[in-house]
């Protein structure tokens, strides 16, 4: 029997985070995927370098690829250093890939990477989310609700 997945993923060290994703999209479902990296990419990530601000994931030939993620060249790398913005293969189970393909095809959703991190075993992972884009009025409503909650907390704190 398969081990149940935790509600949140164990993150020992977060390397890169996509902070705009929660503002730009409604996040529906979350997935943890491994990344196929070369040695210098892992070393660069361990030093805390990397960015996924403008990146996205796409499905191609029954595989998921992380596109436009920037992992800068390793400073002590030699001629075998990696290309910073190359597409990187994400490692998911076939069942998860089928689920993602159906959601992207039918419901018009996109795959957004939320963060790159190292798990307790020292493996580099990507947290992916199935997301639906927000319209301008949705963004305004979300911001209004967030401001109102903050104001409520202020009022309760001052009266308490």
pLDDT in tens, 25-34: 888 899 999 9
Question: Is 1 contained in some domain?
Answer: no
Q: Distance of CA 11 to CAs 115, 121, 123, Å?
A: 10, 10, 10
The three-class DSSP label of residue 144 is helix
Q: Distance of CA 54 to CAs 16, 17, 50, 63, 131, Å?
A: 12, 11, 12, 20, 15
pLDDT at 5: 62
Question: Is 149 contained in some domain?
Answer: no
Strand-pair category, 88-91 with 110-118: unpaired
pLDDT at 48: 86
Is the pLDDT at 1 greater than 60, yes or no? no
The three-class DSSP label of residue 131 is strand
Task: Encode pLDDT of 80-119 as tens digits.
Answer: 787 888 899 999 999 999 999 999 998 888 999 999 999 9
User: For 80, left (φ over 0), alpha (ψ -120 to 50), or beta?
Assistant: alpha
Is the pLDDT at 145 greater than 60, yes or no? yes
Give the chain's domain count.
1
CATH number at residue 120: 2.40.280.10
Which helix (H) or strand (E) covers residue 49, if one does?
A: none
Is the pLDDT at 130 greater than 90, yes or no? yes
Question: Is 28 contained in some domain?
Answer: yes
Range of the domain at 51: 13-135
Question: Is 146 contained in some domain?
Answer: no
Question: Is 89 contained in some domain?
Answer: yes
pLDDT at 34: 94
Task: Encode pLDDT of 44-89 as tens digits.
Answer: 888 888 889 889 999 999 999 999 998 888 877 777 787 888 899 9
For residues 79 and 38, what is the distance between their CA atoms, to the nearest angstrom?
A: 13
């Amino acid at each position: 029997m398969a081990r149940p997945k935790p509600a949140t993923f164990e993150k020992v060290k977060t390397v890169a985070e996509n902070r705009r994703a929660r503002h730009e999209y409604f996040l529906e479902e979350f997935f943890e995927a491994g990344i196929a990296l070369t040695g210098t990419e892992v070393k660069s990530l361990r030093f805390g370098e990397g960015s996924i601000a403008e990146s996205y994931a796409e499905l191609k030939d029954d595989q998921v690829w992380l596109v436009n993620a920037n992992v800068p060249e390793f400073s002590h790398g030699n001629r075998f250093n990696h290309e910073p913005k190359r597409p990187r293969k994400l490692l998911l189970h076939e069942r998860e890939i089928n689920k993602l393909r159906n959601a992207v095809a039918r419901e018009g959703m996109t795959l957004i990477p939320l963060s790159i991190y190292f798990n307790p075993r020292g493996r580099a992972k990507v947290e992916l989310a199935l997301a639906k884009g927000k319209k301008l009025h949705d963004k305004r409503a979300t911001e209004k609700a967030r401001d109102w909650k903050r104001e409520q907390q202020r009022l309760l704190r001052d009266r308490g």
